Amino acid sequence: MNVIKTPRLILRHLTLEDTEALAAIYADPIVMKFFPSMRSQKETKQKIDKMIKSYEKKGFGLWATIYKPDNQFIGRCGLIPQMINECSELEIAYLLAKEYWRRGLATEAAIAIRANS
């Protein structure tokens, strides 16, 4: 299910079919430099299962990010609930394959997510 479209991106619900592509991004040490750890394919599947439940329960979560010009899965972007000073806030989050960095895609996604939230 498509959630948001921008000039260059489609954000849609993650599915279990995205496991391999997302696991490859999670396995890249450069992409995961500021994350606690890289994730295995099994852990990636568990994260996707969690996101599917979030769509059903909260109506939002992290979405598959597709680059329109080549129709490639390039990562995930969306909303994550966070507790800040005992207050629930929504964080705009993104993680993209390094081949798609430095193109303004994360900014494009974040602007669209904020506008549609």
CATH number, position 39: 3.40.630.30
Q: Where are the beta strands (DSSP E) in 17-109?
A: 62-67, 72-84, 87-96
Domain span including residue 101: 2-105
Residue 115 falls inside a structural domain: no
Report the distance separating Cα 110 and Cα 113, nearest Å. 5
Residue 116 falls inside a structural domain: no
Total tally of structural domains belonging to the chain: 1
Query: Is residue 94 scored above 80 in pLDDT?
Result: yes
pLDDT in tens, 12-33: 999 999 999 999 999 999 999 9
70 DSSP 8-state letter: T
pLDDT tier, 77 (very low <50, low <70, confident <90, very high otherwise): very high
Question: What is the amino acid identity at position 18?
Answer: D
pLDDT tier, 37 (very low <50, low <70, confident <90, very high otherwise): confident
Cβ-Cβ contacts under 8 Å for 109 (sequence gap 6 or more): 4, 6, 9, 11, 65, 77, 94
Pairing of strands 9-13, 87-96: unpaired
| pLDDT (mean) for 42-64 | 91
- Greater confidence (98 vs 35) lies with 98
Instruction: Calculate ∠ Cα 77-83-89, nearest 5°.
Output: 55
Q: What is the pLDDT of residue 36?
A: 77
Output phi, psi for 109, to 5 deg: -65, -45
Residue 35 falls inside a structural domain: yes
What's this model's pTM, rounded to 2 decimal places? 0.90
Q: What is the pLDDT of residue 66?
A: 98
Residue 37 falls inside a structural domain: yes
Lowest mean pLDDT among 20-24, 86-90, 102-106, 109-113: 86-90
